[in-house]
C-alpha cells in the first residue's frame, strides 16, 4: 500500500469497517488525522497496525478521535509501542473487546490498566518481560466475560496469575507458553476453578515446573478440552499421560520433549479420537508405541515424530495403513527410515499435503518417485541433509509442488548422528552444548513455520 495515501483511503471509503495497514510505512501521524476529519472512517470496528513503527502517541490519539467504535485491535511486531500509545487510544475507544500485541516488549501493566476499562473478551500478549501478575489481577476484576487469554513468553507471570483468574467463568483458551515460573500450584488452582470444566485449549509449552500432578488434574477437571500443549515439559511422564487417555474430548496434543514412552503413548490412543499428535524429541518412543497408538486411531491427520531416533519403517507402515486421513507427517531426524517408509505413505496416504524427511539419510531418488506416483496432493516437501537424493531427481519429481527444500549435505552434529546413522558421542563438552543449542533453535524455527 506504499502508493495509497491515507487521505485517499479515508475519503473514498467512509463506510469502511475492517482496515489493515499492517507493515505500511508510508503514512504518518498526519495521515491518521484524516480519521477524525470530515466523513473519515468513523464506522471502523477492526484495525491492524502491525509493524507500523512510524506511528507515535499523536497518531494513536488521532485514531481515537476518529474511530471510537473500534472493537478488534491488532498491533504486532511493533517495538515502538508504549503504554502512552495505548492510553491515548483507550481514552476514547472504550468499545475494544479484543487486543493482540505480539512482540511489543515495552508495554507494561500500565497499558493493561488502561485496557481494563474496556470489556475485553480476548487478550494476546507475547514476548514481554514488563507484564506481571498485576495484569491478571486487573483482568480478574474488570474482565468478567473474558474468553481467550494468551500471555506467552512473559517471564514475570507466576502461579499467582492463574490463581487470580480462577474465579472467572468464561475462559475457553489459556496460553501461558514459555512462562517458566508457572508450576503445578497455579495450574491446579486454575483447572479447579470456574472455567476448568469449560476450557477448550491449554498451552503450557516450556512450563518446566509443571509435572504429572498438573496433567492428572487437567484430565480429571477439563472435560471439554480439545487441545493440550505440553511441549518441553520435561517432568511430564507416562504417569500423567495415562490419565489423559481417559479424556474423550481431546483431539490435538503436543508432547514433544517430554519423558513419555511407549506405555504412555499406548494409553493416549484409548479413545481413538486424536487428530493431531506431536511427539518430537521423545527418545523413549519406539515402533511399538506408534503401532499401539495408531491401531486405535483412525482419525489421525497430523503426526509429527521428528527426532525420535528409535523409529523405523515399521512405525510409518502402521501409521500409513491405519491412518488414511493423514495430511501432515514429520519424520525429520529419524536416521533409520528408508525408501520403504515412503513407499508405505505413498501407497496409503493420498491426502498428504506436508512431509518433512530432513535428516533421513538413507532415502534415495526412489522415495521421490514413490511420492510423485502416490501423493498427488503433496504441496510441501522438506529434504534437508538427504545426501542420497540427487538434485536431478528433485527437479524431476517436485516441479509441481508449492514448496520444496533440499540439500545433500551431511547431517549437522546437532542431529546426534553421522552420515551413516551412527550415534555421535561428543568429546568436547562446550562444542556439544553450543551445537545442540543451535540445533534446538533450528528445530523451533521449523516448528513455528509449520504452524
Determine the structural domain holding residue 7 and report its residue range: 1-96
CA pseudo-torsion sign 235, 238, 239, 240:
positive
Residue 262 lies in a domain: no
Residue 72 lies in a domain: yes
> What pLDDT score was predicted for residue 448?
47
Q: What rounded mean pLDDT belongs to the chain?
A: 92
Q: At residue 2, does pLDDT exceed 50?
A: no
> What pLDDT score was predicted for residue 401?
98
Residue 360 lies in a domain: no
To which residue does cell 523451533 refer? Answer: 444
CATH number of the domain residue 47 falls in = 3.80.10.10
Residue 295 lies in a domain: no
Residue 42 lies in a domain: yes
Residue 35 lies in a domain: yes
Residue 75 lies in a domain: yes
Query: Could you read off the pLDDT of 268-283 as tens digits, one per residue?
Result: 988 889 999 999 999 9
Residue 154 lies in a domain: no
Query: Could you read off the pLDDT of 294-349 as tens digits, one per residue?
Result: 998 889 999 999 999 999 999 999 999 999 999 999 999 999 999 999 999 999 99
Q: How confident is the model at residue 66 (pLDDT cuts 50, 70, 90)?
A: confident
For the entire predicted model, the pTM comes to 0.92
437 compared with 49, residue with greater pLDDT = 49
Domain count along the chain: 1
Query: Could you read off the pLDDT of 365-415 as tens digits, one per residue?
Result: 999 999 999 999 999 999 999 999 999 999 999 999 999 999 999 999 999
Amino acid at each position: 500500500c506504499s502508493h495509497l495515501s491515507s487521505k485517499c483511503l479515508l475519503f473514498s471509503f467512509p463506510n469502511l469497517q475492517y482496515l489493515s495497514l499492517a507493515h505500511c510505512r508510508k503514512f504518518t501521524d498526519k495521515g491518521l488525522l484524516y480519521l477524525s476529519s470530515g466523513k473519515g472512517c468513523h464506522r471502523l470496528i477492526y484495525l491492524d497496525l502491525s509493524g507500523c513503527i512510524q506511528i507515535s502517541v499523536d497518531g494513536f490519539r488521532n485514531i481515537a478521535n476518529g474511530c471510537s467504535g473500534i472493537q478488534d485491535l491488532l498491533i504486532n511486531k511493533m517495538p515502538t509501542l508504549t503504554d502512552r500509545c495505548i492510553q491515548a487510544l483507550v481514552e476514547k475507544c472504550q468499545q475494544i473487546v479484543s487486543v493482540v500485541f505480539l512482540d511489543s516488549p515495552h508495554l507494561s501493566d500500565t497499558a493493561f490498566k488502561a485496557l481494563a476499562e474496556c470489556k475485553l473478551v480476548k487478550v494476546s500478549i507475547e514476548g514481554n518481560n514488563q507484564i506481571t501478575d498485576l495484569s491478571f489481577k486487573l483482568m480478574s476484576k474488570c474482565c468478567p466475560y473474558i474468553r481467550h487469554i494468551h500471555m506467552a513468553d512473559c517471564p514475570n507471570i507466576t502461579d499467582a496469575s492463574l490463581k487470580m483468574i480462577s474465579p472467572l467463568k468464561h475462559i475457553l483458551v489459556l496460553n501461558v507458553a514459555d512462562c517458566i515460573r508457572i508450576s503445578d500450584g497455579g495450574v491446579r488452582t486454575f483447572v479447579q476453578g470456574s472455567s476448568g470444566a469449560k476450557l477448550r485449549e491449554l498451552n503450557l509449552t516450556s512450563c518446566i515446573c509443571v509435572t504429572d500432578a498438573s496433567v492428572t488434574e487437567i484430565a480429571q477437571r477439563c472435560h471439554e478440552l480439545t487441545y493440550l500443549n505440553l511441549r518441553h515439559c520435561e517432568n511430564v511422564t507416562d504417569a500423567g499421560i495415562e490419565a489423559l487417555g481417559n479424556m474423550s474430548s481431546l483431539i490435538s496434543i503436543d508432547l514433544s520433549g517430554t519423558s513419555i514412552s511407549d506405555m504412555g503413548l499406548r494409553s493416549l490412543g484409548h479413545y481413538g479420537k486424536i487428530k493431531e499428535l506431536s511427539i518430537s524429541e521423545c527418545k523413549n518412543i519406539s515402533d511399538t508405541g506408534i503401532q499401539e497408538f495408531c491401531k486405535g486411531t483412525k482419525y489421525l491427520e497430523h503426526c509429527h515424530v521428528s527426532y525420535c531416533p528409535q523409529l523405523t519403517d515399521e512405525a510409518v507402515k502402521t501409521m500409513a495403513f491405519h491412518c488414511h486421513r493423514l495430511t501432515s507427517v514429520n519424520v525429520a531426524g529419524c536416521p533409520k527410515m528408508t525408501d520403504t517408509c515412503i513407499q508405505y505413505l505413498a501407497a496409503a496416504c493420498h491426502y498428504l499435503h506436508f512431509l518433512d524427511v530432513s535428516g533421513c539419510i538413507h532415502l534415495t531418488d526412489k522415495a521421490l518417485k514413490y511420492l510423485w506416483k502416490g501423493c498427488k496432493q503433496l504441496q510441501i516437501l522438506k529434504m534437508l541433509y538427504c545426501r542420497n537424493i540427487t538434485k536431478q531427481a528433485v527437479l524431476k519429481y517436485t516441479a509441481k509442488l508449492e514448496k520444496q527444500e533440499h540439500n545433500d549435505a551431511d547431517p549437522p552434529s546437532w542431529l546426534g548422528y553421522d552420515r551413516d546413522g551412527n550415534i555421535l558421542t561428543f568429546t568436547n563438552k562446550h562444542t556439544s552444548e553450543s551445537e545442540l543449542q543451535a540445533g534446538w533453535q533450528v528445530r523451533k524455527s521449523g516448528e513455528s513455520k509449520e504452524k
